Amino acid sequence: MNVAENTVVSFNYRTTADGAEVDSSTQRGGPLTVLVGHGGIIPGLEKALLGRAAGDRFEVSIPPAEAYGERRPGLAQRVPKKYFRNPAQLRPGMMTALQNRDGGRQMVVVTKVGSSVVDVDLNHPFAGRTLDFEIEVTDVREATPEERAHGHAHGPGGHEH
C-alpha cells in the first residue's frame, strides 16, 4: 500500500538543520505515526511521503515555506523573570515555556538573560530554517473510521487515549 490521503504512515526520521541534528525518531523512542492529510506534520514532509511504501528510504530538504514558515520580525519581547518557572536556569538559545495572559503556555526561544528581565523570541524555533530529513517508511495502512473522525492516528507512535 502507498501513502495517500487518509492512510496512516509510520516512519523513522532524522532531522538536521545546517548539519546539526535537531530531532529524530531515535530521540523520541520509535517511529512517528501520522494520519496523512490532517495537518499532523509539516506540509513539505507530508508531500514528500505521498506515494511511498513500507521499506522506502529517502532524503528530502524542506524550505521554511513548507516547514515552519519564515521568521517574522517584531516577535521579540522583554519579559520579567518572574513569569518564568525556572529563571535561574535560562540561557541564550534555549527553548522554554512562557505563561501567557490566558493562562496557556507558549514555547519561546531565549535570546538574552538580564538581571531582572529576559529577552525572548516568539517565532517558532525552526521558523526561517531549511530542514533536512532522512526518512525510512516502516508501515502504511488504511486509517480506521475512528482515526478519520479524530483527525489523527492512534496506537504506538500516534495519539494514545
Kindly state the cell numbers that stand for 28.
523520541
Give the nearest distance from C-beta 40 to Zn ion in angstroms.
Answer: 11
Give the nearest distance from C-beta 153 to Zn ion in angstroms.
Answer: 8
Give the nearest distance from C-beta 158 to Zn ion in angstroms.
Answer: 8
Binding status of residue 148 toward Zn ion by CB under 5 A: no
Binding status of residue 150 toward Zn ion by CB under 5 A: yes
Residue ranges in 59-78 that form contacts with Zn ion under rule CB under 5 A: none
Burial class for 153, CB neighbours closer than 10 Å (0-12, 13-18, 19+): buried
Tell me which stretch binds Zn ion (CB under 5 A): 65-73, 83-91, 120-128, 142-150.
Answer: 142-150
Tell me which stretch binds Zn ion (CB under 5 A): 38-46, 92-100, 108-116, 150-158.
Answer: 150-158
Tell me which stretch binds Zn ion (CB under 5 A): 28-36, 43-51, 78-86, 146-154.
Answer: 146-154
Of 100, 118, 117, 47, nearest to 109 by C-alpha is 118
Give the nearest distance from C-beta 147 to Zn ion in angstroms.
Answer: 7
Total number of residues that touch Zn ion (CB under 5 A): 2
Give the nearest distance from C-beta 123 to Zn ion in angstroms.
Answer: 30
Which is closer to Zn ion, CB of 14 or CB of 150?
150
Binding status of residue 38 toward Zn ion by CB under 5 A: no
User: DSSP letters of the chain?
Assistant: -B--TTEEEEEEEEEEETTEEEEEHHHHTS-EEEETTTTSS-HHHHHHHTT-BTT-EEEEEE-GGGTT-PPPTT-EEEEEGGGSS-GGG--TT-EEEEE-TTS-EEEEEEEEE-SSEEEEE-S-TTTT--EEEEEEEEEEEEPPHHHHHHTS-BSTTSB--
Give contact residues for Zn ion (rule: CB under 5 A): 150, 159
